[in-house]
Amino acid sequence: MIGRSEEYEKMFRLEGQLWWYRSLHERVEKALQNRFGQRRDITILDAGCGTGGLLDFLRRQGYTNLRGLDGSTDAVTFCRERNLSVTFVNLNELTSFEPDGQYDAIICNDVFCYFTANELPPLVSALARRLRTNGILVTNNNAFKLFRGEHDVAVGIIRRFVLADFKPVCADNGLHIHLATYWSFVLSPLILLVRQWQRLQLALGWHKPEEAQSDVYLPHPLVNETLYRLVRAEQTLIRRTPFGSSLFMVMSR
């Protein structure tokens, strides 16, 4: 992903509108409210914050103590355009960055997929150490290999997860998993069909990997709004769902 400027430009332009980002941002805010109620002064770190869509959303919800880190100069530049407090940091070197930093909430969405099995435990450990007592780590990640498709190729995703991948690393770092839910359950048959079709096209050489497109594009407004409402209804009605292309988790120390 790092170095693919066009992906950051699309993210920056669309993350406020696209159904998927809107649903995820609301899910994160709900996790913050469940833990901290109406407090808006909690210290929040978005690790691997991309172009700052989530930080911008949280700022509009009244959160005042927001900080971001990212290892892409494109991402940091876009965040600064939004006047967000974001620092260029390689998360592989988080241990040497701000060793005394302490946060009530650390959010790390769709970042772990860029870390190998050896790199992930030190990252989770470094994030856990930066949590205050009773702080939470909120993380969304790509789930189930079955859902691998053109998006993964386009943005260089190296792995997909299931809950069992996180259990040992959480236990090793004193992290208790409060919530783990795959989403979107309701859209999963459709997403699965599309992704499997994409894989077939790649396997048969009908699509070239270098021409793969990410899912970051705006569909027709009616489609975008329908998908957003379906996912929001799912989120409101069912706390945990068993299957979907993403795994959303909330952990505490």
Ligand X SMILES: C[S@@+](CC[C@H](N)C(=O)[O-])C[C@H]1O[C@@H](n2cnc3c(N)ncnc32)[C@H](O)[C@@H]1O
List contacts with ligand X (CB under 6 A). 1-2, 48-50, 53-54, 70-72, 75, 90-92, 109-111, 114
**CB-nearer residue toward ligand X: 54 or 227:** 54
Query: 53 vs 244, which CB is nearer to ligand X?
Result: 53
Shortest spacing between CB 205 and ligand X, in angstroms: 27
Decide whether 112 or 166 has the Cβ nearer to ligand X.
Answer: 112
| Residue number with CB closer to ligand X (160 or 171) | 160
CB of 249 to ligand X, least distance (A): 14
Minimum Å gap between C-beta 224 and ligand X is 17
Residue 151 C-beta: closest distance to ligand X, Å = 10
| Minimum gap (Å) between residue 163 Cβ and ligand X | 19
Q: Which is nearer to ligand X, 70 or 234 (CB)?
A: 70
How far apart CA 210 and CA 149 sit, in angstroms, is 13
Distance between CA 188 and CA 194 in Å, rounded? 10
